[in-house]
Structure 1
Amino acid sequence: MNIVVINAYVRENAGDAALLSVCLSQVREAFPDADVAVAGMEDAAVHPEFEGVRNIGSLRRYVADGTVSLPRRLMRKALVGMAGAVAVALPRPLRRTLLRALPAEARREAEAVSRADLVVSMGGGYVLARPGLDGYQNVFFVLLPALLAQKAGVPVVWAPQSFGPFPAAAQRRLVGHVMRRSAAVLAREDVSVGELLACGIPEEHIERAVDAGFAFAPGRAVAWRDRLGVGPGERLVGVTARRWLAPTAQDRYERELARTIDAVQATGARVVLIPQVSTDYLGDDDRVCERRIAAHCTSGPLMVDEVVDYRDLKGLYDECGLLIGTRFHSVIFSLTSEVPCVAIEYEHKTRGIMADLELSAWVLPIADVTHERLWALVEPLLEDPGPYRALLDKNLPGYVDRALSLPARLRECV
């Protein structure tokens, strides 16, 4: 049996790496003897495998490769996009001939999904569009491998993820076309269900599921308190931040976080700034903004300023007594260790998943972050985390069980 996991991202994004790790583990659990390949955004020449599974690169990586010049990227997008659009409209013999003419990396994914017995699009938050041409390109290239698989009669499963927004009717029509023909479409929060319904997908074809990050449980390998110089009795508070807003609003968000860090440290706790994402791809390196935040603080917080393996990073959240988390998978990593979290929301996955766990009261939109609003949520948790932990004890076990249920669903799809 041949299985291709598509739409993987990069391992320096700890949340997406965890989702891929869980996805591969669950695919192997469902089909122990299958030949599995990953098609994602990592260059196969640099990273030929992920956790022992071969990486074949992808159409999407090939057209977005930041190591080539902008004119070449535009040419790649035009040629591969046109070939892909034509291929899905051709009968099988002509489609195979056209796909064989693609550049090597794009051809590997196109042929792999067309010959597979199952295609699984890993969990995440990438099936969306922003206004403008980039939004159309993202939707098209994310969906293209699934379209090619479906044309070849291969079942496609969308592992638990967020969907939307889709600002244009043409985007919604394309998403609806692909999802209605998929073997399973799993949405990880109610907002995504609404987005899919707006794409014309029947309600009975949408399955409400749980983010795979809740099933991520690697063993501990790093003695983080020793590494950070924090004693066993000291309270450690984690903070994750990211670049997201326009420059003026981003600066305000970073300065308000710094004020809150100072207030936390004034209680005697130690704050550590944690880079959940540390890749230079698309300039998405949390260490850049976290250095600015540290510089705004009057009492310097601890910082993790190196690239840390996603499995080891999970162990750092385990050591925290509280997390102020912007990156939502830092929140998930912490919740699964029963660490109370204040979640700063930048996409609808945050409020949707926190609502599932009855934790909506501890969500603050990123555009609304002020020290006063943040401290109103943080201070009570520093004083008494008991009520929060009671909600975790009530809601988390069943939620984690649902995150573990994908293997059975995959077997049903083949």
Structure 2
Amino acid sequence: MKIVVINAYVRENAGDAALLSVCLRQIRQAFPEADVRVAGMEDPSVHPAFEEAPNLGSIRRHVADGTVSLARRLVRKLWVGAIGAGLLLLPRPAAALLRRVLPAEARREADALAGADLVVSTGGAYVLARPGLDGHQNVFFVLLPVLLAQRAGVPVVFAPQSYGPFPAAAQRRLVARALGRSPLVLAREDVSVDQLRGCGLPASAIVRGVDSGFAFDPPPLSDWRARLGIGPHERLVGVTARRWLAPAAQDAYERALAETIDAVQATGARVVLIPQVSTDYLGDDDRIVERRIAAHCTGAPLLIEESVDYRDLKGVYGECALLIGTRFHSVIFSLTSGVPCVAIEYEHKTRGIMADLGLGAYVLPIAEVTHARLWALVAPLLRDDTGYREQLARRLPDYVAEAGRFPELLRAAA
């Protein structure tokens, strides 16, 4: 059996790497003898495999390759986009000939899709759009491999993920066409279910799932307290941050986090700024933001400066007594380690999943972050987190068990 996992991201994004890791493990659990390959955003010449699954590269990576000039990327998008449209619209014999003129990396993915028995679109939050041309092209290139597989008669399954927003009718029609033909579409929050229903998918076509990050549980790889230079009984509070807002609002958010870090450290706890994402791709490196935050602090927090393997990074969250988390998979990594979290929301996945766990009161939208609002959530947990931990004990086991159901659903859909 040949299986292609599409829409994978990069390993320096620890959350997305965890989702891909779980996806591969669960596919192999469902189909132990399968030949599994990955089509994602990593350059195959740099990373030829991910956890022993060969890396094909992808159409998306080729057209969005940040190592080439903007002009070349635009040409690639126009050229590959036109060929992709032809592959979907032309008669099959003509489409088979047209596929030969795709650039080598794009052709590898297209050939693998045509020869697969099953395609799995990995978990994440990438089936979405913004207004305008950029939003249209994002939806098109995300769904192009789905549509190519379906054109070849190959079933495509959507692992648990978030969907939307889709501001344009054309975007919603394309989403409905691609996902409406899938034997399994898993949405990881109610907001995403509503987004898909707004595209015209019937409720019966959508399965309410759980983020695969809740099934990510690698063994400890490091003594993080020794690495950070803190004692076994010192109270450690983690913080994750990211670039998201316009410059003035971003600066206000970073200064509010710095003021909150000072307040936490005034209680005698130590704060560590944790880079959940440390990639050069799209300039999305949390270490840059976290250095600025540390520079605003009166008392220096701990900084993790190296790019840490996603499996190793999971361990640092387990050492924390509390997490103030913007990157949502840092929140998931902490919750599954039994660590209370205050979550800063930048996409609807945050409030959706926290609400599922009965923790919606501990979510603050990123645009509304001030020290006063953040401290109002953090300070009570520093004094007494018993109620939070009891809520986790009640809700988390069933949630984790639900995340483990994907192999069963996969076998039924294949």
TM-score (norm 1): 0.99
Partner residue of 2:27? 27
Q: Given residue 111 of structure 1, which amino acid in structure 2 is its aligned partner? A: D
Q: Given residue 291 of structure 1, which amino acid in structure 2 is its aligned partner? A: R
Give 1:10 deviation, angstroms: 0.3
Distance 2:195 2:99 in 1: 32
Equivalent residues in 2 for 1:140-151, closer than 5 Å: 140-151=140-151
Give 1:90 deviation, angstroms: 2.2
Distance 2:156 2:53 in 1: 19
Q: Given residue 115 of structure 1, which amino acid in structure 2 is its aligned partner? A: G
Distance 2:404 2:195 in 1: 25
What are the superposed Cα offsets for residues 19-77 of structure 1, whole Å, 9 maximum, x if unpaired?
00000000000000000000000000010000111000000000001111111111110
Give 1:203 deviation, angstroms: 0.6
Give 1:100 deviation, angstroms: 1.6
Partner residue of 2:259? 259
Partner residue of 2:83? 83
Equivalent residues in 2 for 1:204-283, closer than 5 Å: 204-283=204-283
Distance 1:371 1:136 in 2: 37
Partner residue of 1:111? 111
Q: Secondary structure of 1:358's partner?
A: coil
Distance 1:24 1:92 in 2: 31
Unaligned runs of 5+ in 1: none
Give 1:131 deviation, angstroms: 1.6
Partner residue of 1:3? 3
Segment drifting more, 67-76 vs 37-46: 67-76
Q: Given residue 406 of structure 2, which amino acid in structure 1 is its aligned partner? A: L
Equivalent residues in 2 for 1:8-407, closer than 5 Å: 8-407=8-407
Distance 1:362 1:106 in 2: 43
Give 1:97 deviation, angstroms: 1.2
What are the superposed Cα offsets for residues 176-197 of structure 1, whole Å, 9 maximum, x if unpaired?
0101111111000000000000
Unaligned runs of 5+ in 2: none
Q: How many residues align?
A: 414
Give 1:92 deviation, angstroms: 2.3
What are the superposed Cα offsets for residues 155-202 of structure 1, whole Å, 9 maximum, x if unpaired?
000000000000101000000010111111100000000000000001
What do you get for the CA RMSD once the two structures are aligned? Answer: 0.6
Distance 1:39 1:134 in 2: 22
Distance 1:20 1:93 in 2: 34
Give 1:89 deviation, angstroms: 1.3
Q: Secondary structure of 2:89's partner?
A: coil
Q: Given residue 349 of structure 2, which amino acid in structure 1 is its aligned partner? A: K
Q: Secondary structure of 1:46's partner?
A: coil
Give 1:226 deviation, angstroms: 0.4
Distance 1:95 1:23 in 2: 31
Q: Given residue 98 of structure 2, which amino acid in structure 1 is its aligned partner? A: L
Distance 1:48 1:121 in 2: 19
Distance 1:224 1:94 in 2: 57
Give 1:93 deviation, angstroms: 2.1
Q: Given residue 33 of structure 1, which amino acid in structure 2 is its aligned partner? A: E
Distance 1:403 1:380 in 2: 30
What are the superposed Cα offsets for residues 144-163 of structure 1, whole Å, 9 maximum, x if unpaired?
00000001110000000000
What are the superposed Cα offsets for residues 340-385 of structure 1, whole Å, 9 maximum, x if unpaired?
0000000000000000000000000000001110000001101111
Segment drifting more, 89-98 vs 105-114: 89-98
Q: Given residue 81 of structure 2, which amino acid in structure 1 is its aligned partner? A: G
TM-score (norm 2): 0.99
Give 1:132 deviation, angstroms: 1.8
What are the superposed Cα offsets for residues 183-233 of structure 1, whole Å, 9 maximum, x if unpaired?
111000000000000000011000000000000000101100000011000
Identity %: 73
Give 1:114 deviation, angstroms: 1.2
